Chains A and B, each alone.
Chain A
């Protein structure tokens, strides 16, 4: 994988390889893989042998970059060889990389992540929260005091509003703002999260979702709205989406339990086979009248009328009556989230 990392940075010199290393070890920790697998990943990422030694019971393991077990050796150097720098993973456990020659830029992060993953695998990290500060800050299940400590550790001012920006690991950054950032696990897989001051311009990343502004104590909510905004992105038409564009709607969607019943959205889904449904619904929710909607969708108003009739029939309500457009708006966004493919987006062209 060292070779693949090299390819990635040649394709995109601004790519953060450290984040990929972090995401890689996050998956290994979630997957609860064994010590050999952890060492193999570290060795593969580094392109040199990775080692492990435990005092009690005595055990050592060395794995090469192709996953091959290396015979013999421990932290004690072979004749003539220089002793590798060992890093404590836990009491009585050390890990190391057998780099000959000068160390490479990713060595430090690889070793740090390896040590943490080994500690957790060996059951010594379970009683402490090994998540990094940003992960704690964005987790509503963590109590407020602990989140405040993480917020301070990240250098955030308690009385100042910020926004979370969420992006997939494959996002392309035209310019990468200097800000606290990390890879944070979500139900949609690991996402790249950044904390920006609320008045910071939208970062030039594709795709990315910008969350609602919030004080540090409520950045967990900002993160959830950022993820919804990200999932509303469309590579072709809307590479960057801000939660603010949808006001309270995105906040509602962000806090809706997954899989909660959405009969209006189900009804729109039954019409999916009609190509006109998405543009029609989009025009209706953005318009004040049927004629206005027809202009937005660039169709004759009688065509729009016929389509809205089909829509009203399927929905069981008239979108231009009472709360109709609000209902349609929520249902429409729900449908877009259900069919969102933005997190599967391929890497862009060079």
Chain B
């Protein structure tokens, strides 16, 4: 079958894929969810935290319908009462990963920018369908705002952030906080976010079987979350933020995405919709980047640039 062209991966990243492909296959079918839960589980984190002088306190907070949800509050070295706070949603396609997956990158915010990071063990699909994950996240956001003083966070320096599936959850949180009169947010960091269950954009079908997270993987993820409802009329914009028709009144958004990944077009469209609504969005489209390449290959020039640009934005928004 003739395939349409697709942007090439950057050479350093292509080399990285020779390693990444062994633990994160390009195409994830429902049969691979168990494999991914093993291969993408986070490595033990406590030694890393100790080395970086980061404190950790685990709390149980009320999630969807008040169910207990575990969060870890990660605090920078030293004491200060008024720090920026970030509520963080991890990556893993809504089906795997845990609250420490890909955490390295956001730890920079903790020990370099003095952020208090609340990372959330939202419940995973397919065992838990929509709205469990997003309402677990919302519960954690409300808890963070209500306990701001206790965990040393300035209530007017609160951000939401997430990567991939977590980026979609973070975008949904910002919409929900606006619509429900929830905590006032200072910003939203959406790293290569998973925003649209409907697929259908050109980039969605451009990377079948290559890189990280292709069209089939995406259908697997949305299918796990939404079941039969995927792609239909009934899906909430808090689950799939691309469906939101009103993007006015949102906190400033930082959106980054690879030019060589399926989420390219939905990320660009989301930034564009924010601008059209008169909002503030900063969009970075990284040439040659596959999905989440900064997590898998942070040593590369592209990975470094992504990390640097993102950290600079977070510093601009919330550092004193």
CA A272 – CA B19 in complex, angstroms? 35
Within 8 A of B (CB), among A1-50: 1, 3-5, 7-8, 11-12, 15, 20, 23-28, 30-33, 36-37, 40-41, 43-45
Are A11 and B299 within 8 A (Cβ)?
no
CB proximity of A67 to chain B, nearest CB, Å: 3
Task: Scan B41-62; emit 1 where CB is below 8 A from any A CB, else 0.
Answer: 0010000000000000000000
Complex contacts, B10 vs chain A, CB 8 Å: 31
Are A347 and B303 within 8 A (Cβ)?
no
Is A317 close to B, CB under 8 A? no
Among the 9-residue stretches A245-253, A290-298, A336-344, the one with 4 or more Cβ atoms under 8 Å from chain B is A336-344
Are A20 and B18 within 8 A (Cβ)?
yes
Complex contacts, B22 vs chain A, CB 8 Å: 4, 7-8, 11-12, 15, 20, 169-170, 347
| A contact residues, range | 35 or more
A45's nearest neighbour on chain B, judged by CB, is B19
Is B149 close to A, CB under 8 A? no
Complex contacts, B300 vs chain A, CB 8 Å: 37, 40-41, 67
B14's nearest neighbour on chain A, judged by CB, is A27
Is A139 close to B, CB under 8 A? no
CA A23 – CA B299 in complex, angstroms? 17
Are B1 and A24 within 8 A (Cβ)?
no
A8's nearest neighbour on chain B, judged by CB, is B22
CA A32 – CA B209 in complex, angstroms? 25
CA A349 – CA B34 in complex, angstroms? 7
Is A350 close to B, CB under 8 A? yes
B31's nearest neighbour on chain A, judged by CB, is A349
A349's nearest neighbour on chain B, judged by CB, is B35
A341's nearest neighbour on chain B, judged by CB, is B209
Task: Scan B281-303; emit 1 where CB is below 8 A from any A CB, else 0.
Answer: 00000000000000011111101
Given contacts A40-B299, A43-B299, A344-B27, contact A7 B39 (CB under 8 A): yes
Are A339 and B299 within 8 A (Cβ)?
no
Are A27 and B18 within 8 A (Cβ)?
yes
CB proximity of B75 to chain A, nearest CB, Å: 23
Are A11 and B298 within 8 A (Cβ)?
no
Q: Which of A7, A43, A345 has the largest number of chain B CB atoms within 10 A?
A: A7
Is A66 close to B, CB under 8 A? yes
CA A70 – CA B198 in complex, angstroms? 45
Complex contacts, B35 vs chain A, CB 8 Å: 11, 347-350
CB proximity of A256 to chain B, nearest CB, Å: 17
Query: Residue B12 contacts which of A11, A41, A343, A344 (CB distance < 8 angstroms)?
Result: A41
Are A1 and B12 within 8 A (Cβ)?
no
Given contacts A24-B16, A27-B11, A346-B26, contact A1 B39 (CB under 8 A): no
Are A350 and B34 within 8 A (Cβ)?
yes
Are A190 and B18 within 8 A (Cβ)?
yes
Complex contacts, A67 vs chain B, CB 8 Å: 298-301, 303-304
Is B15 close to A, CB under 8 A? yes
Is B236 close to A, CB under 8 A? no
Are B19 and A344 within 8 A (Cβ)?
no
Task: Scan B1-29; emit 1 where CB is below 8 A from any A CB, else 0.
Answer: 10000000011101111111111011111
Given contacts A8-B19, A45-B19, contact A346 B304 (CB under 8 A): no
CA A1 – CA B298 in complex, angstroms? 9
Are B1 and A272 within 8 A (Cβ)?
yes
Are A269 and B19 within 8 A (Cβ)?
no
Complex contacts, B19 vs chain A, CB 8 Å: 1, 4-5, 8, 20, 24, 45
CB proximity of A42 to chain B, nearest CB, Å: 9
Is B309 close to A, CB under 8 A? no
Is B156 close to A, CB under 8 A? no
CA A11 – CA B23 in complex, angstroms? 8
CB proximity of B11 to chain A, nearest CB, Å: 2
A-B contact pairs, 9 of them (CB 8 A): A1-B297, A4-B19, A12-B22, A24-B19, A27-B14, A33-B12, A272-B1, A344-B208, A349-B35
In order of increasing CB-CB distance, the 4 nearest A-B pairs are A31-B11, A344-B209, A346-B25, A67-B299
A-B contact sample (20 more), CB < 8 A, given A45-B19, A67-B301: A1-B20, A1-B299, A4-B23, A11-B23, A11-B35, A26-B18, A27-B18, A31-B10, A33-B12, A41-B12, A41-B299, A190-B18, A339-B1, A344-B26, A344-B27, A344-B210, A345-B27, A346-B25, A346-B28, A346-B32
